[in-house]
Amino acid sequence: MKFIVLDDFPLWTTYLLGLLVLCSFLFAGIMLLRSLLIASGNSPGSRTRGRRGRQPWFFVIAGALAVWFLGSSMYLRFHSVGIGPREIELIFFWPRPPVSIGADDLVDVKLLRAYRTCGHMEITTRQELFRSVNFKKCEGAKEALKEISPRIHANS
């Protein structure tokens, strides 16, 4: 099986960034709970209660958006493609395991261009649409497209 890596991010940097964002989100959530517990102990007419209660919400919402962005753009998209004689394997980062696709299940393969980066690939099967991460260099994607496209036309 021939493996083609689409992005050029080292594995450890992606997990380190994800861990940092997740810990920041959890810390913001704990600080929000702490401020809500402290605010409930203050007198009802206290002026500091309203201002203190709003600040942690900003960090919780920003952390939740950062976790969602990383999850949807890095951890739920494939990073490399394994091309075998009868199957294609899409390799994801943890927590999603690799997915094997039979050559006869392929419907379409596209390279969707972006303005600043090369773009991302979409591999469509009869059951699901798989998207790759965005990548800067197009060489790997063009090579994968060149290997996979004839298999789709042979099945048509």
Q: Is 133 part of a structural domain of the chain?
A: no
Question: Residue 23's pLDDT band (boundaries 50, 70, 90)?
Answer: very high
Residue 58, domain extent: 2-75
- Domain for residue 129, yes or no? no
Q: Could you say which DSSP state residue 85 is in?
A: S
Share of the chain above pLDDT 90, in %: 24
Q: Is 7 a domain residue? A: yes
Number of domains in the chain: 1
Structural domain contains residue 113: no
Average pLDDT of the chain is 83
Q: Is residue 145 part of a domain?
A: no
> Is a pLDDT exceeding 80 seen at residue 9?
no
Question: Is residue 33 domain-resident?
Answer: yes
DSSP string, 96-141: SPPEEEEGGGEEEEEEEE-SSS-EEEEEEESS-EEEBPPBS--HHH
The model's pLDDT over 57-103, given as tens digits with 9 standing for 90+, comes to 888 899 899 989 888 888 888 988 999 888 999 998 877 899 999 98
